Structure 1
């Protein structure tokens, strides 16, 4: 194999030829043509309704591309709502999620036309009821929002994962807590569904189907016990990307096949997924130059112009983004490769992007490109530590590289 499967060679020349002093601390690029093609494939089914989890990548051009592909939007903060509305998305196509919804935030969302909510506590449920009734008093009309209750289940020992598993999290409530309410007590709300999402970056179709199957009985029983007609079941996201190139990839056709079974077993009218990384990860790249190379206790090290100040994910998951050198005519077939430790410029041992194979003759000044950076890249970074620059973001479309936001110096955010 001359090039890794994650790298789209149609963008290679544009990255090699891109020369800008402003981007010498690293920059992000999103291949919108590839994203559009990928999203179209995801939409070629009639089993599930697809939402985009904006936390994965809130860039305007990315949102616009998803909008054009027919995705609706899962927003978990006021900032995400503002960004999505700014792209011309109708608020009726927005789902409000997140564990920290105050009554003030719920009021603001309702006033801006959002009418679909996932509530994660008894407080949120009561506050939303109050907000809707207050809105009715002002307008003279009752507009019932769709409301899904987020449920947190406990799993068999060993099923732990980043969003919980057996670990207690702030996401939703247990079945026993939700059983304290009854749908009839909330006449201003259309309590029509349940939401559950307790896994992250899943790479096995079999394991995902097993988890989904285990959820159906307790969720349908819960709905019956509180007087809910279960019209909607939202399974969140968690579909994974094979960052480590271990050959574990999800089959989308099998996902749809499995979800058709879940839909029938649960008896719901609508099944929802909120895709984040699975929708956008493959379209994104991060480019950064090497500023130093050294040998330390028999280990080759490369120090990069930026590290976790732009790409934090490797430090918190121990799963590095894949990498290759940006070099004209490069192929692994005719290059001697060796493992390097990749470090960034921050004064902390956390600033490591992985232990990865690169050409043994790599030199200071050459550029690296990291893949799968379309999700959890720029907005999951920690750019303020040591007062480094904010990375620029570009899109690549119709053969052109276009800057969406320029690199910004520390003076732009320091007071």
Structure 2
């Protein structure tokens, strides 16, 4: 998607980008300093509404908090989704502070400590175990606390998902228990604890509807085999997520309707027939929040070096590692960016937008077209900044102040 398409999605007021219905210059004045992240509440609602309208009614929507744990964002989404997925004790406490029911919170991720597991069991949230060690720790915590833990098993499938930004299943993985090991684990330990069901998450940031549909179909087939080994009925079926968003001009948006059609067939067919007590869960983070946020940074210097123009901004990769290309991109490509106070102006000059860090890796826009008179004090806006931004970046590098975050 081009910068123009993103400008259209957010809208403009008198030529300025609008975020949360507010002109960018007024929003910047209200925040008081740059850089900052701004998340559009209306855009978040529209995203959830889209998912509710397109996905089958029986699907439960879980928000993966790791994508954006900003308190106001999580508080707002807790009123709009069915579940929240967390990946640490800190995120768990934050999720419970929203008032969501504990049994609507799931705790995934490798390396859970005994203390974290004990807290999760005490709170009554669903612990998605990633190893036999974690499963034994859950059993021990339940015995010590005199509680029946809520537990599901994360399975590392015997298939991989092509086209994902990050592969989370198939082959050797730190995530989940290998599918071929699950029968042995269940035979040894399932009698000691009530296993609610399974979680299979094969890959993230995928824009190919056919590949996602195939992965979901294979997931249902795999879980059907494994569920035969459970001593009780399957009540929890987390199909993962992995729905991607476009970050560069070459990316095409995910055809959500095609994914939904396949999910409808699975739910009305094998899921309804074999797992009548289970509500299937789709776990999404980036797809919900990613397109709903912007990163705003101010130009502090304009310089020309051997014919190349640089706009130096007061932000950079310490706040937005992904936009710099250092968050897993095999080939660096520009995220869409504009001069936000002149959102309607066409580009007239190729410039490089760089941050304030002492490294050439601090590159936010490489030879991007911006208005030819872009200069000091202009506000540069980078789109697709609602997910894996501030908390996925090296904020302590060089000791610059942390940016503000606002939900508008």
TM-score, normalised by the number of residues in structure 1: 0.84
Q: In 2 relative to 1, CA 392–237 (structure 1 residues): closer, same or farther, beyond 3 Å?
A: same
SS in 2 for 1:243: coil
CA RMSD after TM alignment: 2.6
Query: Gapped runs of 5+ residues in structure 2?
Result: 13-17
For 1:128, the equivalent position in structure 2 comes to 138
Query: Gapped runs of 5+ residues in structure 1?
Result: 137-141, 397-415
For 1:327, the equivalent position in structure 2 comes to 341
Q: In 2 relative to 1, CA 372–50 (structure 1 residues): closer, same or farther, beyond 3 Å?
A: same
Q: Deviations over 1:336-390 (max 9, x none)?
A: 4343322111112221123233223211221111112111112112111100000
For 2:310, the equivalent position in structure 1 comes to 301
Q: Distance in 1 between matches of 2:52 and 2:341?
A: 36
Q: Deviations over 1:167-195 (max 9, x none)?
A: 53310121222221226843453213221
Q: In 2 relative to 1, CA 261–3 (structure 1 residues): closer, same or farther, beyond 3 Å?
A: same
Most deviating of 194-203 and 155-164: 155-164
* Equivalent of 1:212 in 213, 216, 221: 216
Most deviating of 20-29 and 206-215: 20-29
Q: Distance in 1 between matches of 2:93 and 2:149?
A: 22
Q: Distance in 2 between matches of 1:87 and 1:219?
A: 31
Q: Aligned pair 1:366/2:374, yes or no?
A: no
Contact 2:339 2:370 in 1 (8 A): yes
For 1:265, the equivalent position in structure 2 comes to 270
TM-score, normalised by the number of residues in structure 2: 0.86
For 1:93, the equivalent position in structure 2 comes to 104
Matches within 5 A, 1:153-164: 153-155=157-159, 161-164=165-168
* Equivalent of 1:249 in 253, 271, 285: 253
SS in 1 for 2:57: coil
Q: In 2 relative to 1, CA 177–69 (structure 1 residues): closer, same or farther, beyond 3 Å?
A: same
CA drift at 1:219: 3.3
Q: Distance in 2 between matches of 1:319 and 1:233?
A: 36
Contact 1:287 1:369 in 2 (8 A): yes
Contact 2:236 2:279 in 1 (8 A): yes
Contact 1:133 1:188 in 2 (8 A): no
Q: Distance in 2 between matches of 1:222 and 1:2?
A: 46
CA drift at 1:156: 6.2
Matches within 5 A, 1:159-198: 161-164=165-168, 168-182=172-186, 185-187=189-191, 189-198=193-202
CA drift at 1:216: 3.3
CA drift at 1:124: 0.8
Q: Distance in 2 between matches of 1:78 and 1:157?
A: 29
Contact 1:160 1:167 in 2 (8 A): no
Q: In 2 relative to 1, CA 382–25 (structure 1 residues): closer, same or farther, beyond 3 Å?
A: farther
